[in-house]
Chain A
Amino acid sequence: MNAKEIIAQRVAQEMNDGDLVNLGIGLPTMVANYLPAGVRCFFQSENGIIGMQPLDGPGSALDALTDAGGSPTSVIPGAAAFDSVASFGFIRGGHLDVTVLGGMQVDEDGMLANWMIPGKMVPGMGGAMDLVAGAKRVIVAMTHTAKGAPKILKKCNLPLTAVRRISLIVTEMAVIEPTAEGLVLREISPEVTVDDVKAATEASLIVAPDIGVMKLAA
C-alpha cells in the first residue's frame, strides 16, 4: 500500500454513519473509497451538490455535473443541487460534520497553512478558508514530509488558512491530535517506530500513554 492509500484508509475510519463530509481535491477524494462497512456518508462538493459519488465507469457523465476540481462526477439517488450561497451556508453554518483537506504545513498550535507559497505559488484559497473556519471537524490528510523536509512544524511560516485548531492530522506515518497542550501522537503506522515519527517531525510530540498502531487492511 502506498502512502496515499494508507492515509485515505485511516481517515475513512474517522467517518460516522450519516455524516455530511467535504473531501478536498486530490488525496482527500480517495477517502470515499475506504469507508468502513455500514458507514454511509453524504459527500458535499462545494460547487453545489450534496450526495456526490464517484463516477462508476464512463458513459454516465453529464456536462452539468462536476466535482470541485471541474471533473465529471455522479450523484446518489436523493442527492440535492444548490447554488454557491447555499453551499457555503452548509459549510459555515455548522452543518458540515467533517472536512478533509491536504496540508502544506501544520504547527504545534494546530494551525494549518495550505493555500499559498508567497512569490511561488498563488492558486487562491478557493473554499479552503471557509471549510477550515466552518466545519465541525477538520482533518488534514497529508504526507508526513515533503521531499524529506518536515511539514509538521513548531510554527507555520506560510500564510495560515484559518486561525482555528484543526481536529486531526493523518499521515502515512502517524495519527496526531492537536490539543491545547500540544500535538499528541495517538497512533503510528505498523511500519515505523515512535522515534522514526519524531525524527520526521519538527514540532514537539506528546506521546499518548495509550498510543496504538494504525489498523490497516493488507
Chain B
Amino acid sequence: MSKVSSLSKAVEEIPDGASIMIGGFMGVGSPLKLIDELIRQGKHDLTIIANDTAKPGFAIGKLIDAKAVSRLVASHIGLNPETQKQMIAGEIEVELVPQGTLAERIRAGGTGLGGVLTKTGVGTVVAEGKQTIDVDGDTYLLEKPLIAQFALIYAWRADHFGNLQYELTARNFNPPMAMAAGTVIAEAGEIVPVGVIPPDQVETVSVIVDTLVGRED
C-alpha cells in the first residue's frame, strides 16, 4: 500500500508542457527536491501555478532561471527580478491573481465548484473581461476554478498511505493544491508508519495523494 517512490521515478511521469501547481510561499513549504529534479530531467514549457516565484536561485526561482516555465499564474513576482525580466521579454506569459482569489480559485477547482464570488478586484484591472454578479445589493466578481495536471506538495510529515501534516507557514497553498490536481506528488520531511498520525491530525487525506517522496531519497 506504500506510495513511496524514488525521486526520479516520481518526476518522470510529468511530461513537458504539463500544468503544475507548486506549494510554497517565497519557497517556504515548497518541495525543493521535486523542483530540483524537474530541472535535472530538463522538463520545459511548463505552466506553473503558485503564489510566487521565490527569488533567483531558490525554490521555484530555479525553474525560472532554467527557463523551464512558459506560463505562470501567481499573485506576486516582485521579489524575483528574473521572472519580471522574462515576462517583459515575452518569454513567460504571466497571469497575476490576487492572493486570496488565487487560493479560492484553487479551492473551487479542487472541490467541484464552478467558481467563487469575491469583492476583491471589483472596479480594478483584475475585473477586465470578467462577469460581475450582484448578490443582495453587493457587487462581486465571478472568479473561475483552477485545476492542474499535477500538484507538487511539501509536507512536514507523511505516513505510507500518504496522509499529510504541515508545519506553520510552510502550509500556505499546499492543502488546497493537493485537492486540485489530477496527480499529487508529495515530498515529505519525514515518512512514518501508518497509524502514527492520528485521524484528527491528518490535514491532507491520503486518498488524494498519488506518490510520496522522502526528503532523504
* B78 CB–A CB distance under 8 Å: yes
Across the interface, name the chain A residue whose C-beta is closest to B27: A70
7 smallest A-B Cβ distances: which pairs? Answer: A123-B78, A70-B26, A88-B100, A163-B123, A130-B100, A64-B170, A126-B76
Contact A83 B28 (CB under 8 A): no
Partner of A134, one of B84, B119, B170: B119
Question: Are the C-beta atoms of B168 and A48 separated by less than 8 Å?
Answer: yes
Q: Chain A: which residue is nearest B167 at the CB level?
A: A64
For the complex, give the distance between the alpha carbons of A128 and B27 in Å. Answer: 20
Interface size on B, residues (CB 8 A): 48
Whose C-beta in chain B lies nearest to the C-beta of A132?
B120
Q: Please, which residues of chain A bring their CB within 8 A of the CB of B84?
A: 122-123
Question: What separation, in Å, do the CA atoms of A190 and B170 have in the docked complex?
Answer: 45
Residues of B within 8 Å of A160, CB to CB, are: 123-124
Please report A residues at the B interface, Cβ cutoff 8 Å: 45-49, 62-66, 68-70, 75, 81-85, 87-88, 91-92, 121-130, 133-134, 159-163
Closest chain A residue, CB of each to CB of B176: A85
**Count of CB-CB pairs between chains A and B under 8 Å:** 147
Across the interface, A81 reaches (CB within 8 A) one of B79, B125, B171, B173, namely B171
B145 within 8 A of A: no
Q: Among the listed stretches B6-14, B37-45, B101-109, B192-200, which one makes contact with chain A, having 4 or more residues with CB under 8 Å of it?
A: B101-109
**Which chain B residues numbered 105 to 141 have a C-beta less than 8 Å away from chain A?**
106-107, 118-126
Chain B residues with CB under 8 Å of A85's CB are: 103-104, 106-107, 175-176
B169–A47 touching, CB < 8 Å: yes
